[in-house]
A = this chain, B = another copy of it.
Amino acid sequence: MKFELTKEFLEQIKALISRQEETVIFERLKELHPADIADIFENLELEEARYVYSVLDEEIAADAIMELDEEFRENLLKLFSNEEIAEQVNILDTDDAADLLGELSEEDKDEVISKIEDREHASDVEELLKYDEDTAGGLMQTEFIKAKENWPVNRCVIELRRQVEEVEKVYSIYVVDDESNLLGILSLKRLLFASPKTLIKDLYQEKNLKYVKIYDSSEHVASIMDKYDLVSIPVVDRQEKLVGRITIDDVVDVIREEAEKDFQMASGISENVEPSSNVLKSTRSRLPWILIGLAGGVMSSQIIKGYEDQIDVNPALAFFIPLIVATAGNVGVQSSAIVVQGLAAKEFQFNSVLRQIGKESLVGIIVGMICAISIFGFNLAVGGDLNLGLTLGISLFLVVVVAAILGAWIPLALNKLKIDPALATGPFITTANDILGLTIYFLVAYLMYLA
């Protein structure tokens, strides 16, 4: 009942494939969930996966294809003819079908669409392809269950029985008027326990009806479904007509991808990469921030060069350069991470921006004091000269306070400018703080040794 992919199982499957034992493979896999079959595919060679695909029940096989990593799916589909892809698209729900088609070249896409058997399905899918994948239109499917407000329960059950055949998962029934305007939602639970003659209009709920518009961003959809704990949400078009629904499983993917994107951005990765991405893509995604960091390093070198005389007089100043820049970077990254998360969770509503910067200043002052005292104490303990200790302590304190404030302020400012604030975390903040930290450090040193 529970399936766990083991090395032994994989080896057995590979052996069966090499011996072309179709029926045995079919028997072995027929009870598995498409997501498990996708796991197996990803651990086979492309040709092997292609063979297993042809052996399976076509509905399960098509679903398994949609559970694959995007890169693996693209490579696997290259082994399929456009006719075969059209057969898959014919089986898939409209949202999955549109996602699959969206990954094909323009040319293949048109050819595949023309070969889809169910023409109504084909035109639904083609319609969905118009929408950007980061919008409600890009997430929705056209399979949903609707009921008219003037139906009685018994007629509704009969009508729904017809509709339900093409809808895999039913969470609720959308109630519409004769013009397809969305009026409210009827839960299956209420329908199940209602008496046969009751009219739908006396049964459905309009209070707290939540829906999204077809051009709303997928982030907006995710935040609404998350906030109101919804498992599905109806989608209306520009004329407020009901056109589709979005289910929570697709939105969970959006939530996870959002979080991954922020994490990658904060780590200085500019393009979505996974461990399975090839070396070229991986390099391309990483080079931009490394080069920006390098440019920052060159700027740092020029700053230090400007204070060369200081270093000549007291070479020990050079020893602590990494300490200053590392601390500036660490403090800045922390501040910006807290603010970026707060922005993502919509925690800054009214006038709390100034309060947040005030709070960061306070945290910066406390952390800065502790750092300053620690480093001053260390210098004293190892018998360093007093001026160096004071220079380190004072500059470290200032660096920490400034880094904390900047770290909080930059993402807030970016957000105001409608730029993704997550851009401010990671290499950007580190590079900015390196330069700033060095400037403060050598300025303090200059003043200290002048005095």
Q: Is the CB of B350 within 8 A of A275?
A: no
Asked if A282 and B359 make an inter-chain contact with CB atoms under 8 angstroms apart, the answer reads yes
Q: Chain B: which residue is nearest A400 at the CB level?
A: B290
Q: Which of A2, A206, A297 has the most CB atoms of chain B within a 10 A radius of its CB?
A: A297
Nearest residue, chain B, Cβ from A262: B263
CB distance from A100 to the nearest CB of B (A): 17
| Assembled-state Cα–Cα distance A321/B318 (Å) | 9
In A328-348, the 8 Å CB interface with B consists of 329-331, 333-334, 336-339, 341-342, 345, 347-348
Decide if B330 touches A430 in the complex (CB within 8 Å): yes
Are A350 and B294 in touch, CB under 8 angstroms?
no
Query: Chain B: which residue is nearest A280 at the CB level?
Result: B366
Residue A417, interface by CB 8 Å: no
Determine whether A52 belongs to the interface, using a CB cutoff of 8 Å to chain B.
Answer: no
Contact A345 B274 (CB under 8 A): yes
Q: Are A371 and B294 within 8 A (Cβ)?
A: yes
Q: Is A415 an interface residue (CB 8 A)?
A: no
A311-B322 in contact (CB<8A): no
Decide if B297 touches A322 in the complex (CB within 8 Å): yes
Task: Determine if B425 and A267 form an interchain contact, defined as CB atoms under 8 angstroms apart.
Answer: yes
Contact between chains at B189 and A338 (CB < 8 Å): no
- Give the shortest distance, in Å, between A407 (CB) and chain B (any CB): 10
Query: Chain A, interface size: which category?
Result: 35 or more
Chain B residues within an 8 Å CB radius of A334? 267-269, 286, 289-290
Q: Are A226 and B252 in contact (CB under 8 A)?
A: yes
CB contact between A338 and one of B1, B274, B300, B348 (< 8 Å): that residue: B274
- What are the residues of chain B within 8 A of A79 when measuring CB–CB? none
Instruction: Known contacts A252-B255, A269-B337, A304-B318; decide if A430 and B329 are in contact (CB<8 Å).
Output: yes
A102 on the interface (CB 8 Å rule)? Answer: no
Proximity string of chain A (1-41) to chain B, C-beta cutoff 8 Å, 1 when within and 0 when not: 11001010010000000000000000000011101000000
Name A227's closest neighbour in chain B (CB-CB). B35
CB distance from A182 to the nearest CB of B (A): 10
**A413 interfacial by beta-carbon distance below 8 Å:** no
Q: Say whether B259 contacts A326, CB under 8 Å.
A: no
Residue pairs across A and B with Cβ atoms less than 8 A apart, 18 shown, are: A164-B193, A259-B260, A263-B266, A263-B337, A266-B266, A267-B338, A267-B425, A274-B341, A294-B371, A296-B326, A297-B327, A298-B375, A304-B321, A318-B321, A322-B325, A325-B325, A329-B329, A330-B430
Q: Which residue of chain B is the closest to A30 with respect to CB atoms?
A: B207
Q: A334 to B325, alpha carbons, bound, how many Å?
A: 19
B residues less than 8 Å from A304 (CB atoms): 318-319, 321-322
Q: Which residue of B lies closest to A164 (CB)?
A: B189
**Segment 266-321 of A: residues with Cβ below 8 Å from B:** 266-269, 273-276, 279, 282-283, 286-287, 289-291, 293-294, 296-298, 300-302, 304-305, 308, 311-312, 315-316, 318-321
Interface assignment of A323: CB less than 8 Å from any CB of chain B: yes
Find out whether the CB atom of B323 lies under 8 angstroms from the CB atom of A321: no
Q: Copy number in this complex?
A: 2
With A and B bound together, what is the CA distance between A231 and B248 in angstroms? 8
Interface residue? A434 (CB, 8 A): yes
Contact residues in B for A252 (Cβ distance below 8 Å): 226, 248, 252, 255
Instruction: Identify A297's interface contact among B171, B320, B341, CB under 8 A.
Output: B320
Q: Mark A368-381, 1 if CB is under 8 A from B, else 0.
A: 00110011001000
| Of the residues B274, B291, B322, contact of A434 by C-beta under 8 Å | B322
Q: Does A239 contact B (CB under 8 A)?
A: no
Nearest residue in B to A339 (C-beta to C-beta)?
B275
- What chain B residues lie within 8 Å of A274 (beta carbons)? 338, 341-342, 345, 347
Chain B: CB-nearest residue to A348: B275
Closest to A331 in B: B290
Q: Indicate whether A289 sits within 8 Å of B228 (C-beta atoms), given known contacts A5-B349, A189-B170, A283-B366.
A: no
Q: Does A367 contact B (CB under 8 A)?
A: yes
Identify the closest chain B residue to A431 (Cβ).
Answer: B326
